């Protein structure tokens, strides 16, 4: 794994960990502590942002949820800088940590950190020279992109280690930039206006011809025509960077044009409750995580202004958006929290954030739907854990019902996507059991076994279900061990967990996350082909994981340059992008066609068949 590009974002292992000692390939890479440093040297704002998600899925063992609250050492250093160790998560025989290097008043041109690892041993590292295998008193220095740090700014590196975390912490020494401090340049970022409680209106003009509704197990437009949502995910707004990953390198408009030009008609965009609350309070901040040379129109823009600029571009290219509340906290590991509240973000904040964003974009049908919560999860005897109808504050069916009703009261046109949980009691068992063997366990967000008999309550013409599913390279589930087939997966996994909702006409399904690397494991390739074929045969809606190449355990549709496409992976996905008989991509907008396609209006005017199955 590269120093600069080690991790990725989000695959969620199901945590089916009944076999002690089994290696887990999942701690995400937004899931990984992706931290970014941006430097300023000699008055030129060097927006060279790299970073990586660290929570190394590939090395994280059994259960990552052992440390719901990070533990933090005291900052220590020589005055030019300080270093602080934050242990983000622990498991039975290891842990994940970030080290925050904070510059003093003089800034930094380079830094060195001494870190006491105790008896633990580093198994993976990113964003520094810390060596794999290091133990005891170890050293770490900056790499090329994160040595220069503005006065008062910080850089972050991270690592995974085997063993118990040390309590000794770390200290920093550095070369100060004060001797060569540049004169002020007068750039917009230098004199950014203070946050204001006045939040500007969205940029897109009101429009309302593209709202969608649920009808049986299909999604239909305002004319009653069946549509097919076939898209992908692009993450970053959910992370500590608070903006799309990759904008440190590429142009926003060009990337949107490329995505839409490839026939993706909907983009699922992860975001955090914390960021929505910041926007709501008028505290949208400027960011150093956007390359101003590549995006001159975004120089000095706040994260909210960048989000709105994205919506303008999406609308111009016929691309629709599903907003996914991925985590409570704006944290690269935030999705690991099994429920919808964490830290200072309360359960009520979850509802308030949704109501605010629904109201703000009420008139803009670029955002056609809201995914209420990414991957609620947890299994016995973990706490907290999401239940379905189990009662109490962690009853996801009840919470999703309240969220759906509160959002619908503000925004009655938006689709409302509800994911499953991880574990539900087997027949004859109850939620009171603390024995994992008493539960049916699958992927995080993938268990909708109880939704048929106990549905989410709310507007029936707007609610649909959205499971996630992954292959053995994310986590080697029991059903991948030994021979399996498309038929066995459908009978043993997909059917009882979620496919029955479609097959029995109860609800449409949108597979919110599926994907992975190709060519590394025959089982992985088989699983991805089988699920792709199921999606095509049933015309299931889906958003592939993901656009980002920095998703550690899945890779992306884009290569590491954030510009060229992984043509092999794209060819697999292309077969389940909505197209007419001539191969023209069909968008969801009734007036603006995808760059290489046609509108849904044109599709039906030309005699297109309804995508059902």
Instruction: Give me the active site residues, please.
Output: 375, 513
Q: Which residue matches tokens 């550095």?
A: 174
Alpha-carbon distance 211 to 224, whole Å?
Answer: 11
Alpha-carbon distance 51 to 497, whole Å?
Answer: 36
- Three-class SS of residue 535? helix
Angle formed at CA 504 by CA 500 and CA 507, multiple of 5 degrees: 80
Q: For the chain, first and last CA: distance in Å?
A: 42
Kind of pairing between the strands at 76-77 and 81-91: antiparallel
Kind of pairing between the strands at 94-103 and 81-91: antiparallel
Alpha-carbon distance 336 to 572, whole Å?
Answer: 29
Name residues whose C-beta falls within 8 Å of residue 157's C-beta, 6 or more positions apart in sequence.
Answer: 35, 98, 99, 101, 113, 125, 126, 127, 128, 130, 140, 146
Q: Show the beta-strand stretches assigned E in 47-190.
A: 71-72, 76-77, 81-91, 94-103, 108-126, 135-141, 154-162, 170-176
Q: How many CB atoms lie within 10 A of CB 208?
A: 11
Angle formed at CA 510 by CA 506 and CA 516, multiple of 5 degrees: 140
From the CA atom positions of the chain, what is the Rg in Å?
A: 23
CB 477 within 8 A of CB 16: yes
- CA 558, 559, 562, 564 torsion-angle sign: negative
CB 604 within 8 A of CB 561: no
User: For residue 286, which of 345, 241, 344 has the smallest C-alpha distance?
Assistant: 241
Write the DSSP string, 470-506. Answer: --TTT---GGGSS---HHHHIIIIIIIIIIHHHHTTS
Alpha-carbon distance 591 to 229, whole Å?
Answer: 17
Residue 425: C-alpha distances to residues 67, 314, 391, 479 (Å): 25, 42, 14, 19
CB 429 within 8 A of CB 378: no
Q: How many CB atoms lie within 10 A of CB 190?
A: 12
């Amino acid at each position: 794994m590269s120093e600069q590009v080690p991790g990725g974002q989000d695959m969620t292992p199901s945590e089916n960990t009944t076999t002690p000692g089994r290696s887990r390939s999942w701690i995400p890479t937004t899931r990984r502590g992706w931290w970014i440093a941006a430097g300023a040297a000699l008055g030129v704002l060097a927006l060279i942002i790299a970073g990586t998600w660290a929570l190394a899925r590939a090395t994280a063992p059994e259960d990552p949820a052992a440390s719901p609250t990070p533990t933090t050492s005291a900052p220590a250093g020589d005055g030019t800088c300080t270093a602080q160790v934050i242990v983000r998560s622990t498991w039975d025989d290891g842990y994940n940590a970030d080290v925050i290097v904070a510059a003093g008043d003089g800034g930094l041109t380079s830094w060195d950190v001494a870190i006491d690892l105790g008896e633990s041993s580093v198994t993976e590292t990113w964003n520094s020279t810390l060596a794999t295998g290091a133990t005891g008193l170890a050293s770490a220095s900056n790499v090329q992109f994160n040595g220069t740090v503005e006065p008062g700014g910080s850089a972050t590196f991270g690592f995974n280690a085997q063993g118990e975390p040390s309590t000794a912490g770390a200290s920093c020494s550095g070369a100060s930039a004060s001797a060569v401090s540049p004169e002020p340049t007068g750039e917009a970022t230098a004199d950014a206006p203070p946050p204001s409680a006045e939040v500007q209106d969205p940029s897109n003009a009101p429009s309302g011809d593209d709202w969608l509704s649920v009808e049986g197990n299909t999604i239909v437009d305002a004319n009653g025509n069946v549509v097919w949502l076939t898209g992908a995910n692009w993450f970053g707004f959910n992370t500590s960077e608070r903006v799309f990953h990759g904008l440190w390198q590429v142009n926003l408009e060009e990337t949107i044009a490329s995505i839409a030009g490839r026939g993706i008609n909907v983009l699922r965009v992860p975001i955090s409750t914390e960021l929505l609350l910041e926007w709501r309070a008028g505290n949208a901040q400027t960011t150093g995580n956007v390359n101003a040379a590549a995006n001159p129109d975004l120089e000095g823009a706040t994260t909210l202004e960048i989000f709105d600029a994205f919506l303008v571009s999406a609308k111009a290219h016929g691309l629709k958006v599903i907003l996914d509340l991925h985590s409570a906290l704006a944290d690269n590991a935030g999705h690991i929290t099994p429920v919808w509240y964490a830290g200072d973000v309360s359960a009520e904040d979850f509802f308030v954030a949704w109501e605010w964003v629904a109201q703000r974009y009420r008139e803009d049908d670029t955002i056609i739907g809201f995914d209420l919560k990414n991957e609620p999860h947890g299994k016995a005897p973990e706490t907290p854990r999401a239940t379905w109808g189990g009662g109490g504050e962690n009853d996801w069916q009840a919470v999703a019902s309240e969220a759906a009703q509160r959002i619908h009261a503000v925004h009655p046109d938006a689709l409302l996507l509800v994911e499953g949980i991880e574990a539900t009691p087997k027949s004859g068992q109850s939620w009171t059991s603390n024995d994992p063997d008493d539960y049916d366990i699958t992927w995080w967000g993938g268990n909708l076994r109880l939704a048929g008999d106990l549905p989410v309550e709310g507007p029936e013409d707007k609610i649909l279900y959205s499971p996630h599913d992954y292959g053995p390279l994310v986590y080697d589930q029991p059903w991948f061990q030994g021979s399996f087939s498309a038929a066995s997966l459908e009978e043993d996994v997909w059917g009882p967990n979620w496919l029955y909702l479609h097959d029995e006409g109860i609800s449409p399904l949108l597979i919110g996350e599926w994907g992975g690397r190709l060519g590394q494991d025959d089982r992985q390739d088989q699983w991805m082909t089988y699920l792709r074929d199921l999606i095509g045969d049933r015309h299931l809606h889906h958003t592939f994981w993901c656009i980002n190449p920095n998703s550690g355990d899945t890779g992306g549709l884009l290569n590491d340059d954030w510009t060229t496409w992984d043509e092999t992976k794209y060819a697999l996905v292309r077969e389940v992008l909505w197209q007419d008989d001539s191969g023209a991509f069909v968008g969801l907008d009734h007036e603006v066609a995808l760059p290489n396609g046609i509108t849904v209006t044109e599709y039906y005017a030309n005699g297109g068949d309804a995508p059902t199955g």
